[in-house]
Structure 1
Amino acid sequence: MLFGVPMPLFSSGRRPLSPGSRAGLGAALVLLALVSAVELADGGMVNYVGLVAAAPFLAAAFASWRMVLAVGVLSTVVAGGFALTGQVVSLAAVVNVIGIGLATAIAAGVAAIRQRQAEQIAELSKLAAVAQQAVLRPIGPQVGSLAVAGRYISATATADIGGDIYEALDTPYGVRMIIGDVRGKGLDAVRLASIVLGSYRHVAYERSDLRAIVADLDRAVARSVGDEDFVTAALVEERGGTLTIVNCGHPPPLLLRRGQVIPLEPPAPAPPLGFMPVVRPRVERLEPGDRLLLFTDGLGEARRDGEFFPTADRAWRLLGHGTVGDGLASLETALVEWVHGRLDDDIALVLMEYAGPRPVSTTAVPSWEVGAADH
């Protein structure tokens, strides 16, 4: 009786069963098989059939409500078959069959509620991903004369999204990049991230000095947040082979040069955006083949068993090969393996490579062009 029911009864639409649905269905069928075996071994006495009421609840833990109804119908048929074919059709057996039907209705309701909540979470996750993508536009593979790649590593697959930001722009003042980390998570963090990036995308083309950009972003943050909210950020400008960095409470970028990894610490510490930072630029002369890694503090805080990921020790081996996109992919793989797939914070990464000076143009070179050819 148990195995005579055609399997199409259990299919929900044309889509294949999910792993959860298969697990719930499998557990329910195993229970039905066990109870049937016990009843058959009991010699026709209907003593254990009431146990099959648990079958639809097992299915309800994972499967859809339609699947739960199918399991419940099968459970009721199995229980009714034993009740009718037993030596005595007792009142207890009839009550058990009715109870299994009621249990099926309750389990289907539970499954419907669980399925609706799962769909809402999936929709929130989709909206979160869309919001994140709207804030973080793809960058690279070429921005001005630099090869650039960006990567966002999320710590969770739910709708709890963070405020890590990055951008790279080819402006009249050279290639300018920003990486930052908004305090907090969720939609408030995304809102502030969008404000910072929106302001940066405007003023990066208007201000000739990175310190002026910092002042503009600081005012934008101060107008938009409370007293305890802030944004750490590092701004980078490459102009004619000269690298200028200003840092507002952010982890220092790492310069990869000829097998060495050099943290580019700021000349003096400065607070995050929102706390009126006064920054002092750090200036470096780039060499062909130099790479620069910008990252948020989720990378520095990634750890397993209390041991932090050795970013500086492994950066050259992971980031110094292939394209900049290959390098970031290798870093992400090594990082996820290090933490066994469990990150505590989102991570934004930007890797750029300086190939060398641009070919000398025959047109006039603006007076502000640092590192231009001598005339």
Structure 2
Amino acid sequence: MLVAVRIPLVLSGGRPLSPGFRAGLGAAFVLLFLISAVELADGREARFVGLMATVPFLAAVFAPWQAVLLAGGVATAVGTVFAFFGMSQDDLSAFINVIGIGLATGIAALVAVVRQRQAERIAELAKLATIAQQAVLRPLGPKVGTLAVAGRYISATAAADIGGDLYEALDTPYGVRMIIGDVRGKGLDAVRTASIVLGSYRHVAFERADLRAIVADLDRAVARSVGDEDFVTACLVEERGGTLTIVNCGHPAPILIRRGEVITLDPPSPAPPLGFMPVVRSRVERLEPGDRLLLLTDGLAEARRDGEFFPITERAWKLLGHGTVGDGLASVESALLEWVHNRLDDDIALILMEYAGPSQPTLAPVPSWELGATN
């Protein structure tokens, strides 16, 4: 017996069927066809009708309850036909199996309802996680002050773009100020700490003339909000009139790209992360038109394949020295994912800025607190 079933392409009201709906029905009808073929090949007596109870359960794996009922109804009808033609006077087991198909259809429909509700809940949680991440990490650029700036967050988890990496760029009275950081740990606790750091930074960046005072404020905010063993690595950067000032709290050093040369801007002396009362010394650099600066988290610095680290320093010019700053970050992400075969161990935050040159013929003076900062 061959049973042809036409699956409509749209639901009532013109709403297209979901891929799960089509997959569930397709798999269920393929299984029903195979069982029917075996039943036909076995002869007149109905021996395999009971196997049709698996049809609605297979549909429940992929499809919503409506598709389960449809598949189960068709399986029940087909089983009834087999039972009727294969029934003997003293054997009603085939019709008992048909009743079993009906009961299985009802149970499978309930399973599909529970599965669908759980899937919707997980989707809602993922959506809320994405919203939380976006609230913490606001989009950057394409211009902040006089600088071209782009930011990028690369999640190590495909299911959720959420983690403890953070970045921000602000146009303040003291110049364009940027921060990039990494909270110890993952998940919502890390996002909470990142939001505390960024909330404090977005306030004090406009209030403090000295980056070292900002570090002290952020350190107190972290110390009040995390455990004794938790911390936040961070790098703060200020561009003012072509002068670049960097303070580093246990974070990977920024990378300066200048005329094909790649320079790692290590701090004058190491300092512990935020939460451990860092005493920082600033590094001051004079920018040239066309200079680009990459701020990164250790997810990029420590990405590896077969024990070999991603050669960001060696490839920085080729990846970051072309197009817009957004193009450069896209190139880095593409090359990195290819290097690690799409398997990241840690989230990554990136900022790329480009200095176009002074807007006035005369450069702004270096702030007094920055003079002698490297001493």
Kept in 2, the 8 Å contact 1:83–1:93? The answer is yes
Task: Give 3-state SS (helix, strand or coil) of 1:44's partner.
Answer: coil
Give the deviation of 1:308 after TM superposition. Answer: 2.5
Give the deviation of 1:25 after TM superposition. Answer: 2.4
CA distance in 1: counterparts of 2:190 and 2:29, whole angstroms = 47
CA spacing shift, 1:156–1:357, aligned 2, 3 Å = same
CA spacing shift, 1:10–1:365, aligned 2, 3 Å = closer
CA spacing shift, 1:359–1:10, aligned 2, 3 Å = closer
Partner of 1:356: 357
Give the deviation of 1:10 after TM superposition. Answer: 9.0
Task: Give 3-state SS (helix, strand or coil) of 2:140's partner.
Answer: coil
Partner of 2:294: 293
Give the deviation of 1:7 after TM superposition. Answer: 2.3
Partner of 1:180: 181
CA distance in 2: counterparts of 1:85 and 1:278, whole angstroms = 89
Give the deviation of 1:48 after TM superposition. Answer: 1.0
Partner of 1:31: 31
Partner of 2:3: 3
CA distance in 1: counterparts of 2:271 and 2:205, whole angstroms = 20
Kept in 1, the 8 Å contact 2:245–2:285? The answer is yes
**Residue pairs, 1:29-68, within 5 angstroms:** 29-68=29-68
In terms of mean alpha carbon deviation, does 41-50 or 242-251 score higher?
Answer: 41-50
Q: Is 1:205 aligned with 2:206?
A: yes
CA distance in 1: counterparts of 2:200 and 2:273, whole angstroms = 16
| TM-score (norm: length of structure 2) | 0.92
Task: Give 3-state SS (helix, strand or coil) of 2:224's partner.
Answer: helix
Partner of 2:343: 342
Partner of 1:164: 165
- Specify the code of the residue in structure 2 equivalent to 1:173: Y
Give a deviation string over 1:146-200, Cα, whole Å, max 9, x none.
1101111122243472021111111111111000111122222111111111111
CA spacing shift, 1:330–1:15, aligned 2, 3 Å = farther
Give the deviation of 1:301 after TM superposition. Answer: 2.6
Task: Give 3-state SS (helix, strand or coil) of 1:292's partner.
Answer: strand
CA spacing shift, 1:336–1:9, aligned 2, 3 Å = closer
Task: Give 3-state SS (helix, strand or coil) of 2:289's partner.
Answer: coil
- Specify the code of the residue in structure 1 equivalent to 2:84: L
Kept in 2, the 8 Å contact 1:11–1:67? The answer is no
Partner of 1:331: 332
Give the deviation of 1:284 after TM superposition. Answer: 1.2
Q: Is 1:316 aligned with 2:322?
A: no
CA spacing shift, 1:307–1:73, aligned 2, 3 Å = farther
Partner of 2:274: 273
Kept in 2, the 8 Å contact 1:72–1:100? The answer is yes
Task: Give 3-state SS (helix, strand or coil) of 1:177's partner.
Answer: strand
Give the deviation of 1:267 after TM superposition. Answer: 1.2
Give the deviation of 1:369 after TM superposition. Answer: 10
Give a deviation string over 1:197-220, Cα, whole Å, max 9, x none.
111111111111111100000001
Kept in 1, the 8 Å contact 2:245–2:370? The answer is no
Q: Which runs of 5+ in 2 are unaligned?
A: none
CA spacing shift, 1:246–1:280, aligned 2, 3 Å = same
Partner of 1:134: 135
Partner of 1:250: 251
Task: Give 3-state SS (helix, strand or coil) of 1:351's partner.
Answer: strand
**Residue pairs, 1:225-244, within 5 angstroms:** 225-244=226-245
Kept in 2, the 8 Å contact 1:239–1:370? The answer is no
CA spacing shift, 1:104–1:86, aligned 2, 3 Å = same
Q: Aligned residues, how many?
A: 370
- Specify the code of the residue in structure 1 equivalent to 2:347: D
Kept in 2, the 8 Å contact 1:240–1:369? The answer is no
Q: Which runs of 5+ in 1 are unaligned?
A: none
Give the deviation of 1:68 after TM superposition. Answer: 1.2
Partner of 1:193: 194
CA distance in 1: counterparts of 2:365 and 2:82, whole angstroms = 94
In terms of mean alpha carbon deviation, does 298-307 or 267-276 score higher?
Answer: 298-307
CA spacing shift, 1:12–1:128, aligned 2, 3 Å = farther
CA distance in 2: counterparts of 1:370 and 1:229, whole angstroms = 30
CA distance in 2: counterparts of 1:226 and 1:146, whole angstroms = 37
Give the deviation of 1:307 after TM superposition. Answer: 2.9
Kept in 2, the 8 Å contact 1:121–1:159? The answer is no
Once superposed, what is the RMSD of the aligned Cα atoms? 2.3
Give a deviation string over 1:11-46, Cα, whole Å, max 9, x none.
587443444443332221111111111111222210
CA spacing shift, 1:356–1:341, aligned 2, 3 Å = same
**Residue pairs, 1:93-108, within 5 angstroms:** 93-108=94-109
